[in-house]
Amino acid sequence: MNQFSPRKEELERKISDLETTLHDLKRQVQEEVEAGQHDAIDHLEEYLEQADNKYANLRMFLVTVLNEIRTRFRDDSDKDSGSLKQ
């Protein structure tokens, strides 16, 4: 069994090295995640402004569509009223 001891020690050393490397990689990933969150927070105001602009554009579009529908119904109503009077 003594002959397996150096092999076992070498494997344990490699495992320890791999665990250290894995720990470092996990730390790097966590740093990247945190950096991404900070970046997102830094740009939050820009994202909110973009959302506000999109909402304003949608609102203007809907107002235009509603006005167009009202105009068409009014025109159709006027035509119907005119034909009844004749």
For the chain, give the percent of residues with pLDDT over 90: 66
- Residue 29 pLDDT > 90, yes or no? yes
Burial 55-81 (b: 16+ CB within 10 A, else e): eeeeeeeeeeeeeeeeeeeeeeeeeee
The predicted pLDDT at position 58 comes to 94
- Those residues whose C-beta lies under 8 Å from the C-beta of residue 8, and which sit 6 or more positions away, are none
As a whole number, mean pLDDT of residues 62-71 equals: 94
As a whole number, mean pLDDT of residues 55-64 equals: 95
